[in-house]
Amino acid sequence: MERGNHTVTEFILVGFTTDPVMKLVLFVVFLSVYSVTLVGNTTLITLICNDSRLHTLMYFFIGNLSFLGLWYSSVYTPKILATCISGNKSISFAGCVAQFLFAVGLGYSECYLLAAMAYDRYVAISNPLLYALVMSKRLCIYLVISCYTGGFVNAIIITSNTFTLNFCGDNVIDDFFCDVPPLVKLACDVKESYQAVLYFLMASNVITPTVLILASYLFIIAAILRIRSTQGRLKAFSTCFPHLISVTLFYGSILYIYSRPSSSYSLERDKMVSAFYTVVFSMLNPMIYSLRNKDVKEVLKKLLRLTQPDV
């Protein structure tokens, strides 16, 4: 991998700002968000694993979503915090590859998992009596394993294709992490074959799950409309509401960044959107699935009562 007449050994991540005061502010903000993310997702996973009332297939998916969010935010935030404090903006070539690989793998896995959760909600609402038969525990385990496997297989493909590009220009990445758009801008020999692979992976890993989710919700809406009582409709919709929020926030930001033509790519504007789906979204997920969930709140209250010392 050569740039000019020497090998590229590192990249420089510009980040958000060069102002020392703003860097300190951003450090506090990202540290706070990351702390809440770790506590929120770890707590939700612990509750799901330890309380039998949450040993259902729906919470099995939610637990895996929290697991992905926990590691997804950890791919980015520690480097952001280190850059804000030390001022060292460099990242080794191997470090950039690793960050890229795990970010894409976890991101694609989350795309698949959200699609699997949409199908789970469709079965639960349209065929409640057959739900346990259709969505067996074995099927759900296979679905989750397939999500991880498909995500990382595709991540390996896109990572190997991206980092075999010839970075013959500057090695400065005008972003806070190693991502496709800024890396492509550094390459001098982006071939049509690479773009074809990139578009294919985008379609198969983002657009296809999006279509599956939309189709699931069309069937869900049709099933809800067949419910005669208003209370029954509201109850059915409430089971889908947290997932619908997650899908809208996650897919909306990703499609905004990656499905637009390169001519409309604006790095300064897109940094904030990228920060949302890479860092902030992982913090929001536990809140989305806990605040409106009676079972989770009851289990959490029980845990808090057990941890309080007797007076």
Residue 81, domain CATH:
1.20.1070.10
Strand partners, 6: 3
Segment 151-193, tens digit of pLDDT: 999 999 999 988 888 877 678 887 788 888 788 888 877 777 7
Greatest Cα-to-Cα distance within the chain, rounded to the nearest angstrom: 73
Please state the domain count of the chain: 1
The pLDDT, as a whole number, for residue 267 is: 59
Segment 10-22, tens digit of pLDDT: 888 887 777 788 8
Residue 309 backbone zone (phi > 0: left; psi -120 to 50: alpha; other: beta): beta
Mean pLDDT of 270-285: 77
Q: Which of 67, 69, 70 is nearest to 48 (CA)?
A: 67
Tokens, residue 258: 């990656």
The pLDDT, as a whole number, for residue 305 is: 65
pTM, 2 dp: 0.85
Q: Is the pLDDT of residue 5 over 80?
A: no
What domain range is 32 assigned to? Answer: 2-307
The pLDDT, as a whole number, for residue 6 is: 45
The pLDDT, as a whole number, for residue 3 is: 42
The answer to whether 278 and 110 have CB atoms below 8 angstroms apart is no
The pLDDT, as a whole number, for residue 262 is: 55
Burial class from Cβ neighbours inside 10 Å (0-12, 13-18, 19+) for residue 285 reads buried
Mean pLDDT of 111-137: 89
Average model confidence (pLDDT) for the chain? 82
Mean pLDDT of 209-232: 88
Mean pLDDT of 61-88: 88
The answer to whether 154 and 71 have CB atoms below 8 angstroms apart is no
Q: pLDDT above 70 covers what percent of the chain?
A: 87
Q: Is the pLDDT of residue 35 over 90?
A: yes
Tokens, residue 280: 């902030």
Render 212-279 in DSSP notation, one character per residue.
HHHHHHHHHHHHHHT--SHHHHHHHHHHHHHHHHHHHHHHHHHHHHHSS-GGG--HHHHHHHHHIIII
